[in-house]
Amino acid sequence: MVVGAMVLVVLLFSLRSLSVLWTDQLWFSSLGLSNVFSTLLWIKVGLGVAFGVAFFVALFANLLLGDRFGARDLGFDQEDELVRRFQDLVRPYARRVYALVAVVVGAIAGISATGQWNNYLLFANARNFGSKDPLYHKDLGFYIFRLPFVSFVVNWALASLAVVLIITAGVHYLNGGIRTARGSVRVAANVKVHLSILLAGIAVLKAVGYVIARWQLVTSSNGYVQGAGYSDVHARIPALTILFYLSLAAAAILLYNIRARGWSLPALALGLWLVVALVLGVAYPALLQTFSVSPDQKNHELNYIQRNITATRTAFNLNHVVTHQFQAASTITASQVRASAGTLSNIRLWDPATNIALETVQRRQAIRAYYAFTTLGVDRYMLNGKETPVLIGARQLFQAGLPSNSWVNQHLVYTHGNGAAILVANQVDSNTGNPIFALDNVPPVSSEGLPNLTQPGIYFGINMKGWVVANSQQREINYERGSGHSNGSIVASHYAGTGGVKVGGFLQQAAFALRFGDYKFFVSNQITPKSRILFVRDVRSMAQKAAPFLSWDQHPYAVVADGHVKFVLDGYTTTSNYPYSEDAFNQSVPSDNGLPSSYNYVRNSVKLVVDAYDGSMKFYAADPNDPILQAYRGAFPKMFRPISDMAAAVRSHLRYPSDLFAIQAATLGRYHIQSASSFFLASDRWEVSPTAGAGDPKTLLKHTKVFNSSG
């Protein structure tokens, strides 16, 4: 009964996982991204199977050898009750038991490899950067594309062989090849041979690991700045080289032990390795740093600081920043004011901050309780023939404000927002003090020469949660006229777009019901096979799901173009393996951004445009020269379009991404100093203003970061 219940639970969870996988595939297909889904899926499956099978073969083969060697030693009397029970109960079914153990542990080992899908993707589509690191003179692509996956393979193999060794030794014990009697341990000769071979394999892999560790020093954080410093170059690299040869010597000794079949030589090799690893690998670099480098850090580290400056400025794309000197003056003349009239007239009077313009727009333009503006973007539009600064926000559905939270209302009737609001940022109504709108109301009305919004439906937007079914039997509310329902003022229609996924037939509908855990979806007679289910509606979630190998800016922004509302997102390629570049974590970067927690190279390589009505996604290569993007384009050749293919009406509204600006500004605060000696003193370091344009500019910095504790 219990077993049956467990099987049923496992089956139900498996069905739900399969339903999620299938509906995800349908989602990718609906966006024309089937190749992305299949490529990522098969890479994960392939890694899991390849590494799982490799571990299974290694473990099962060694267990069979252990069984064979142990079988020859069964004549010895065994005092261990565990051994006797194993021989009586398990030995007759040994092969089956070994196979089961190898399958279970192999599955775990295979699953651990699936997380390396991105490293493998870059490894398989590696490109050259066209420049070399200053230490080993290898192309930077080696460290960014090849080394991470190779390092994982070696470390995985080392850990796997160690696990195989432990399990194999345990089987030898249970089979009588290793015996404990009266406080002494006796090991059969064949077992010594077997274990020596495994230990030799571990020693060889450890030697390879030392080679990789030498290469990885180009991103070391042991010195004053990131990258191999004085102690790394003069102590750790020589130590790792010695340990490499020592590991190979240990492997040779262990292989020789196949003939000698004793433990003296392996013990000597292991002891020597431990002593050298501690003395040369740990103690000597620490002593050199403490007694030689730190007292005279400036002179020891200058060369490596200069490498770090050069690499960091390149990795964060700061080499083309132009600085200008401005003379401060406490007074200005009338002629200076007249000469700057164009600039002064464009100064924003409305700030997009939550407690300023956004609050005002929400109060005046939400219109209904079930509409809301989540953010306002800063943009510029041609109004009355003149380029004018504006604030723009999409009027999205706010489900918490629905008049009734019934299932039909939440999922079938109130499915979308309506239009957008565009207010003139540099003007104010002189009579009321309110903003002047160039696009407002429901249904949307354009003025100031702004083109009409011909498709105002907002089915996809910023922070939109949950799922809805469009084009069901139930008409969807577009907007209401007047003050309520009593006068028949509701304007409703059926969705005519291609967004989301068709509900389809019985199996497909059942899969969606399983995914959402909602039986009403399955039994509702309002939902037809032609209905479309929209279940990923937040544009950032859409971007992350479609392109999980990119990082996405935290601030998508709305654009009115070609009669539709569209959202523009900035995608970044990043890596934490750029030689000698400083990690962004060390730069006092604001935490509210969409970039990874650790990276030392970034490019705004991708622009994504999402249509708010049909959810179509178009990826554009904004920086086609970025080698990381080139690798992804190699993996997904049909995904990224040239930026020249972007509609002019959208391209004219592209802006510099805020997350990238934040990290570049923070990094430039230190790395505008290009002299290593001046950088070490850090006397000309800049700090980014603590205010983003709203609030008291005299506000103190939240914290001060010390970069040079010894200077």
Angle formed by the axes of helices 34-71 and 117-124, nearest 10°: 110
* pLDDT digit string, tens, across residues 600-610: 999 999 999 99
Average pLDDT score over residue span 533-561: 96
Which run of H or E residues covers position 630?
Answer: helix 627-635
pLDDT, residue 127, reads: 95
State how far the alpha carbon of 77 is from the alpha carbons of 180, 189, 258, 305, in Å: 11, 17, 26, 67
pLDDT, residue 8, reads: 66
Task: Using alpha carbons, select from 37, 36, 12, 9 the residue that is nearest to residue 23.
Answer: 37
Question: Band of the pLDDT at 704, cuts 50, 70, 90?
Answer: very low
pLDDT, residue 706, reads: 46
| Contact (Cβ atoms closer than 8 angstroms) between residue 123 and residue 116 | no
Q: Please say if the pLDDT value at position 688 is more than 90.
A: no
Q: Which residues contact 625 (CB under 8 A, 6 or more apart)?
A: none
pLDDT, residue 74, reads: 46
3-state secondary structure of 297: helix
Question: Band of the pLDDT at 580, cuts 50, 70, 90?
Answer: very high
Residue type at 90? V
Q: Please say if the pLDDT value at position 65 is more than 70.
A: yes
Alpha-helix residue ranges (DSSP H) falling in 217-296: 230-231, 237-260, 264-278, 284-288
Task: Using alpha carbons, select from 381, 329, 373, 322 the residue that is nearest to residue 352.
Answer: 373
Q: Please say if the pLDDT value at position 67 is more than 90.
A: no
Using the structure block, give the residue that is written with the tokens 């379009």. 641
Beta strand 640-642 pairing with 617-621: parallel
pLDDT, residue 10, reads: 67
* pLDDT digit string, tens, across residues 235-287: 999 999 999 999 999 899 888 877 776 677 778 778 888 888 888 888 888 88
pLDDT, residue 182, reads: 62
pLDDT, residue 6, reads: 64
What's the mean per-residue pLDDT of the chain?
88
Cα-trace Rg, the chain: 33
Q: Please say if the pLDDT value at position 326 is more than 90.
A: no
State how far the alpha carbon of 390 is from the alpha carbons of 560, 566, 669, 690, in Å: 12, 16, 30, 24
Burial letters 672-688, b for 16+ CB under 10 A, else e? ebeebeebbeeeebeeb
Is the previous residue joined to 443 through a cis bond, with omega within 30 degrees of 0?
Answer: yes
Angle formed by the axes of helices 147-174 and 34-71, nearest 10°: 30
Point out the least confidently predicted range of 1-5, 616-620, 648-652: 1-5
Q: Please say if the pLDDT value at position 119 is more than 60.
A: yes
Question: Band of the pLDDT at 340, cuts 50, 70, 90?
Answer: confident
pLDDT, residue 123, reads: 97
Average pLDDT score over residue span 15-31: 94
* pLDDT digit string, tens, across residues 164-223: 999 998 888 887 777 776 667 777 788 888 888 999 999 999 999 999 999 999 999 988
**Higher-confidence residue: 655 or 693?**
655
pLDDT, residue 94, reads: 77
